[in-house]
Chain A
Amino acid sequence: MQVPVAKPTTVVDSRGTMCPGPITDLFRAFRNSSIGDVIELWATDPAAKPDVQTWAKRSGNEVLAIIDENGYTKIQVRIVKKGTAR
Chain B
Amino acid sequence: MEVALEGKKPDSIIREERPLVDKNVTYIENSVDMIDLNQRVVFTADGKKLAYDYIILATGSVPDPDSIAGLRAASLNFHTSTEDSLKIWDALQQFRKGHIVLGIAGVPHKCPPSPNEGTFLLDDYLRKSGKRDDAKITFVTPYPRPYPAEAMSKVVEPLFQKRGIDVVTFFNLESVDPTKKELYSLEGDTLSYDLLIMVPPHRGADVIIKSGLGDKDGWIPTDKYTMNVKGYDNAYAIGDCTDIPVSKTGVTAHLEAKVAANNIISSIENLGQTHKYTGRINCPFEMGSGKAAFVVGSYEKPVKEIHPSRIRHVMKRGFERIYWRSLTGNLDWLLDTYFGATDIVENSKPTVVSSK
Which residues of A pack against B, CB within 8 Å?
Answer: 14, 16-21, 23-24, 27-28, 30-31, 47, 51, 54-55, 58-60, 81-86
Sample (27) of A-B pairs whose CB atoms are under 8 Å apart:
A16-B224, A17-B245, A18-B149, A18-B245, A18-B299, A19-B149, A19-B150, A19-B302, A19-B303, A20-B148, A20-B149, A24-B108, A24-B148, A27-B142, A30-B186, A51-B144, A54-B170, A58-B170, A59-B187, A59-B188, A60-B187, A60-B188, A83-B174, A83-B188, A84-B184, A85-B174, A86-B177
Residues of B within 8 A of A17 (CB): 245
Q: Which of B167-185 contact A (CB under 8 A)?
A: 169-170, 172, 174, 177, 184-185
Given contacts A19-B148, A47-B150, contact A85 B302 (CB under 8 A): no
Q: For the complex, would chain B's binding face be called helix, strand, loop or mixed by DSSP majority?
A: loop
- Report the minimum CB–CB distance from A63 to chain B (whole Å): 14
The verdict on B190 contacting chain A, using a C-beta distance below 8 Å, is yes
A85 contacts B245, C-beta separation under 8 Å: no
B188 contacts A84, C-beta separation under 8 Å: yes
Residues of A within 8 A of B189 (CB): 85
If A55-B144, A60-B187 are given as contacts, then 4 extra A-B residue pairs at C-beta distance below 8 Å, sorted by A number, are A17-B245, A84-B188, A85-B184, A85-B190
- Of A31, A54, A55, A82, most buried by chain B (CB within 10 Å of CB) is A31
Given contacts A21-B245, A84-B184, A85-B188, contact A27 B172 (CB under 8 A): yes
Given contacts A23-B144, A51-B144, contact A86 B187 (CB under 8 A): no
How far, in whole Å, are A84 and B258 apart by their CA atoms in the complex? Answer: 46
> Nearest B residue to A61 by beta-carbon distance?
B187
How far, in whole Å, are A23 and B174 apart by their CA atoms in the complex? Answer: 17
Residues of A within 8 A of B302 (CB): 18-19
Instruction: Report the number of A-B residue pairs with Cβ-Cβ less than 8 Å.
Output: 74
- Of B107, B186, B189, B299, most buried by chain A (CB within 10 Å of CB) is B186
How far, in whole Å, are A16 and B143 apart by their CA atoms in the complex? Answer: 19
- Per a CB cutoff under 8 Å, which of A59, A81, A83, A84 touches B170? A59
How far, in whole Å, are A85 and B174 apart by their CA atoms in the complex? Answer: 10
The verdict on B218 contacting chain A, using a C-beta distance below 8 Å, is no
A83 contacts B245, C-beta separation under 8 Å: no
Given contacts A27-B107, A59-B170, A83-B174, contact A18 B185 (CB under 8 A): no
Given contacts A18-B297, A84-B184, A85-B188, contact A24 B150 (CB under 8 A): no
Residues of B within 8 A of A16 (CB): 224, 245, 299
- Of A16, A47, A86, most buried by chain B (CB within 10 Å of CB) is A86
Closest 10 pairs (CB-CB, A-B): A20-B148, A17-B245, A59-B187, A83-B174, A85-B190, A21-B245, A83-B186, A85-B184, A58-B170, A85-B188
How far, in whole Å, are A24 and B299 apart by their CA atoms in the complex? Answer: 16
A55 contacts B184, C-beta separation under 8 Å: no
> Nearest B residue to A79 by beta-carbon distance?
B186
How far, in whole Å, are A20 and B150 apart by their CA atoms in the complex? Answer: 9
Residues of A within 8 A of B187 (CB): 58-60, 81, 83
How far, in whole Å, are A20 and B145 apart by their CA atoms in the complex? Answer: 10
Residues of A within 8 A of B299 (CB): 16, 18
> Nearest A residue to B297 by beta-carbon distance?
A18
- Per a CB cutoff under 8 Å, which of A14, A21, A51, A82 touches B186? A82
Q: Mark B141-165, 1 if CB is under 8 A from A, else 0.
A: 0111000111000000000000000
Residues of A within 8 A of B170 (CB): 54-55, 58-59
